[in-house]
């Protein structure tokens, strides 16, 4: 069934349409400008897919640019992981990766140009004095006593700053704008500072570094970016962005547009917070499957398609809002439901012995790979006298409406036969260790048996060919519906956020599963082979998502 959907354009598309119509730009260029100081998370995916999506939609160009103007926190490790994440999401940035630090020469020249125009000056106030002179939201600032230095003096002082003649913090270059501006960002903001630090790209070439608000518009302009899309916290910085591109007289100045960040309700999203969890050892690194860094989501088994669908559903707007994690879960189920085979896996095994099945006999049964997608074909599973079933599928004394196995009850073993429980054994602690059944050969699945009906169907694994595995189940890292932090500031960690099932038994077709492969485990959810800990002879699976959903599309 084809559905006709009228999708209205979001506000950024409307701006671009208008710009193209008016001829402000002829070709659209967007960029994703991460600072290489941490791993990317689901919020960054929004920015990546938005920028890349617009470039595609308007047949333009999308740049990946590392905003590496701050030498203190940046690491090559992060450059590599960010690049891998952007690629994984399918955001094609072409053949070039851009680095803001490659433009340091042009930024220096731009600063000199401002000085020559009388629009920038070297200031000797201390950081504390600068703060004091800046004024407050309700009071205007005061002019720096160094504001009226001559162009010549400024040029030579700025050059001396570059040549390493001053200590860190002793001098800065400031834009000369308006100390009485109602927007504090316009009160002669610092545009260059002295910092004797080694930079990961430029080494020791520079001991002065540009500030973000000065550097970013220059980076955009150099690359011919048309729409510089960022998040709302930069809205108050836009007048400064516009001032920089205007004063530097770029012929086709880029335009800054802000949108609301993506937030997930009750999920730790911020880069800083994820970093704390990692550094405090509360998780197994940046790619711990309980996190929402992109490397963690990938390791957990989320697909780029599921993340794209999530971004489509969450929309683009200027209004701050939070999205539900349940919606992300819905998206991965939607993506995998037609793609993954439904296989049998027992997470908490208990032996089931079929007393009247011939010892030593092994049968091959053909089962569908995915009942919703016949294109995925069929496979065979083996069936023999000893099987495993999940502990929760048997009860000694069942409550009403329990249709699974209990003494005297008959159930269908999925794709195989009807079995009736005739006996069970327990150990000294009262744990059930073995279930005995009889089977009815006439009830073979697919044989056209039209006799009695059973209410319960359970999954099982043949013990003679079972593959051993470890399976990890996850819940939210912080406790649901409680504050993310305790009163003393410590994290409110959910003690059940990770459950490790060590002795799982999987059907034989799991043998040879490769890192990243995903499957539906019948009745348990979707699982993926862990890319870090799984080995060929010791498989480890992560539960991506269970089958139960608390999210309804259109909610």
Q: Which residues bind ligand ATP (CB under 6 A)?
A: 33-35, 41, 43-44, 46-47, 230-231, 261-262, 269-272
- Ordered DSSP codes for 147-161: TT--HHHHHHHHHHH
Q: Find where tokens 């049968």 sit.
A: 363
| Token pair of 94 as six digits | 């072409």
| Smallest gap from residue 281 Cβ to ligand ATP (A) | 20
Q: Which residue is nearest to ligand ATP (CB)?
A: 43
CA atoms within 13 A on the CB side of 352: 31
| Smallest gap from residue 311 Cβ to ligand ATP (A) | 10
Residue placing its CB nearer to ligand ATP in the complex, 43 or 210:
43
Q: What is the 3-state secondary structure (H, E, C) of 64-93?
A: EEECCCCCCCCCHHHHHHHHHHHHHCCCCC
| Smallest gap from residue 527 Cβ to ligand ATP (A) | 28
| Smallest gap from residue 256 Cβ to ligand ATP (A) | 11
- Ordered DSSP codes for 199-212: BTTTBTS-SEEE-H
**Residue 413 to residue 224: CA distance in whole angstroms:** 64
Residue placing its CB nearer to ligand ATP in the complex, 84 or 376:
84
Residue placing its CB nearer to ligand ATP in the complex, 317 or 549:
317
- Asked if residue 91 lies in contact with residue 48, where contact means CB atoms within 8 angstroms, the answer is yes
Residue placing its CB nearer to ligand ATP in the complex, 33 or 60:
33
| Smallest gap from residue 272 Cβ to ligand ATP (A) | 5
| Smallest gap from residue 266 Cβ to ligand ATP (A) | 15
| Smallest gap from residue 40 Cβ to ligand ATP (A) | 8
| Residue 419 parent element (H or E) | strand 418-426
Residue placing its CB nearer to ligand ATP in the complex, 44 or 385:
44
Can you tell me whether residue 302 is helix, strand or coil? coil
Residue placing its CB nearer to ligand ATP in the complex, 292 or 435:
292
- Asked if residue 521 lies in contact with residue 343, where contact means CB atoms within 8 angstroms, the answer is yes
Residue placing its CB nearer to ligand ATP in the complex, 166 or 286:
286
- Asked if residue 187 lies in contact with residue 181, where contact means CB atoms within 8 angstroms, the answer is yes
Q: Find where tokens 């079995």 sit.
A: 419
**Residue 381 to residue 34: CA distance in whole angstroms:** 48
């Amino acid at each position: 069934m084809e559905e006709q959907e009228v999708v209205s354009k979001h506000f950024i598309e409307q701006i671009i349409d208008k710009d193209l119509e008016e001829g402000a730009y002829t070709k659209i260029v967007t960029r994703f400008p991460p600072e290489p100081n941490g791993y990317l998370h689901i919020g960054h995916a929004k920015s990546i897919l938005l920028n890349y999506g617009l470039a595609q939609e308007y047949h333009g160009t999308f740049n990946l640019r590392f905003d590496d103007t701050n030498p203190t926190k940046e690491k090559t490790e992060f450059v590599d992981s960010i690049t891998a994440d952007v690629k994984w999401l399918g955001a094609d940035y072409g053949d070039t990766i851009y680095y803001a630090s490659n433009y340091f020469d042009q930024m220096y020249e731009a600063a000199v140009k401002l000085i020559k125009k009388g629009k920038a000056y070297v200031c000797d106030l201390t950081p504390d004095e600068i703060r004091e002179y800046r004024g407050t939201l309700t009071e205007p600032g005061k002019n720096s006593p160094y504001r009226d230095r001559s162009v010549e003096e400024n040029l030579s002082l700025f050059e001396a700053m570059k040549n390493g003649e001053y200590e860190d913090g002793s001098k800065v270059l400031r834009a000369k704008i308006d100390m009485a501006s109602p927007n504090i960002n316009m009160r002669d903001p610092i545009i260059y500072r002295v910092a004797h630090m080694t930079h990961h790209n430029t080494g020791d070439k520079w001991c002065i570094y540009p500030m973000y608000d000065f550097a970013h518009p220059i980076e955009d302009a150099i690359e011919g970016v048309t729409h510089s899309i960022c998040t709302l916290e930069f809205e108050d910085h836009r007048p400064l962005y516009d001032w920089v591109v205007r004063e530097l007289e770029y012929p086709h100045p880029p335009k800054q547009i802000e949108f609301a960040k993506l937030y997930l309700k009750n999920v730790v999203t911020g880069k800083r917070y994820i970093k704390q969890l990692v550094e405090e050892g509360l998780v197994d690194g940046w790619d711990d499957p309980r996190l929402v860094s992109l490397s963690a989501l990938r390791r957990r088994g989320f697909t780029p398609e599921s993340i794209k669908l999530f971004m489509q559903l969450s929309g683009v707007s200027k209004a701050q809002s939070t999205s539900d994690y349940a919606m992300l879960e819905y998206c991965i189920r939607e993506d995998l439901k037609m793609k993954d085979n439904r296989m049998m896996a027992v997470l908490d095994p208990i032996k089931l012995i079929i007393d009247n099945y011939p010892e030593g006999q092994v049968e091959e049964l053909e089962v569908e790979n995915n009942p919703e997608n016949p294109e995925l074909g069929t496979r065979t599973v083996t069936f023999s006298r000893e099987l495993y079933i999940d502990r929760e599928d048997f009860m000694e004394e069942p409550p009403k409406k329990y249709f699974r196995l209990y003494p005297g009850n008959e159930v269908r073993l999925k794709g195989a036969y009807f079995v009736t429980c005739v006996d069970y054994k327990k150990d000294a602690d009262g744990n059930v260790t073995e279930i005995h059944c009889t089977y009815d050969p006439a009830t073979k699945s697919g044989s056209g048996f039209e006799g009695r009906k059973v209410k319960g169907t359970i999954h099982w694994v043949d013990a003679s060919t079972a593959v051993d595995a470890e399976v990890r189940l996850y819940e939210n890292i912080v406790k649901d519906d409680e504050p993310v932090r305790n009163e003393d500031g410590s994290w409110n960690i959910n003690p059940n956020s990770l459950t490790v099932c060590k002795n799982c038994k999987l059907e034989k077709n799991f043998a040879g599963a490769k890192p990243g492969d995903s499957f539906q485990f019948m009745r348990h959810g979707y699982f993926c082979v862990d890319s870090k800990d799984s080995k060929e002879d010791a498989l480890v699976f992560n539960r991506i998502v269970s089958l139960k959903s608390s999210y309804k599309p259109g909610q």
